[in-house]
Amino acid sequence: MAGLAENYHGFLREIRQVAEAANRDPEGVRLLAVSKTFPKEDIAELYQGGCRDFGENRIPELQEKKSALPEDIRWHFIGQLQSNKVRKVVLLADVIHAVDTPALVERLDRICGEEGKTPAFLLEVNVSGEASKSGCTPDALPELAAAAFRCQYARFQGLMTMAPADAPEVVLHQVFGTLRQLRDRLAEEYRQKLPILSMGMSGDWQIAVQEGATVLRIGSALFGRRVYA
């Protein structure tokens, strides 16, 4: 099997090709290596290959990996943010991907102030409306975004979504395209840049790139199949 770093560089080339075919600047599409469940050694290998952005969804695992790995890694917390875990996440993560209620936004900003941290954060939108998914509904987004724009410490940078698994391509285009439109409308209304659209995973990233993704969250396609304990 090819080494992980080689895999990573091959993936970067593929992203570049898909971005160019979609008439996008390839520099505007970043790869976030979703390292949850994979060992520190794998992360170290990708780090050697030049990767600096890694995504985790459990606090103890993030804590352990962060303390053992180089300091210039940017850690993304991609799990559901729970109210009683906000402080831990603030102390560990550089980017927080899935904030989904006004109360959480306010708590996040207050704790960032107390801890002297200014992480970037994204609002998670449940575009597809699947009951099993977290994230706010598109209807609830205006109120949530209003809270996000009021933050003084946490930096509101954009939106995140997860598409339904195994959905047909038309549905994926619709979900990702809707997230982009929601972002564009907010950016226009508030006259603010909301540069990040975190969308696209191993199975659907090409369509996400076509619809404007700026951060692809890629796990299994980079590291191999995940085995949960």
Which among 134, 123, 217, 211 is positioned nearest to 171, based on CA atoms?
A: 211
Residues 92-131 that bind ligand PLP (CB under 6 A): none
Match 């080339």 to its residue by tokens.
13
Please identify which residue in 201, 207, 213, 215 interacts with ligand PLP, judged by CB under 6 A.
Answer: 201
Which residue is at the shortest CB distance from ligand PLP?
A: 219
User: Taking the complex as a whole, how short is the minimal distance between the CB of residue 150 and ligand PLP, in angstroms?
Assistant: 26
Of the chain, the end-to-end C-alpha distance in Å amounts to 23
Report d(CA 26, CA 30) in Å as an integer.
8
Non-local (6+) Cβ contacts of 68 within 8 A are 40
202 counts as binding ligand PLP under rule CB under 6 A: yes
| Residue 139 CA: distances (Å) to CA of 50, 127, 228 | 40, 10, 35
Residues 32-61 that bind ligand PLP (CB under 6 A): 34, 36, 57
In DSSP notation, 139-160 reads: GGHHHHHHHHHT-SSSEEEEEE
Report d(CA 218, CA 150) in Å as an integer.
31
User: Total number of residues binding ligand PLP (CB under 6 A)?
Assistant: 13
Binding mask 149-178 for ligand PLP (x = CB under 6 A): -------------x----------------
Residues 57-76 that bind ligand PLP (CB under 6 A): 57
217 counts as binding ligand PLP under rule CB under 6 A: yes
Please identify which residue in 78, 99, 111, 213 interacts with ligand PLP, judged by CB under 6 A.
Answer: 78
Footprint on this chain of ligand PLP (rule: CB under 6 A): 34, 36, 57, 78, 162, 201-203, 217-221
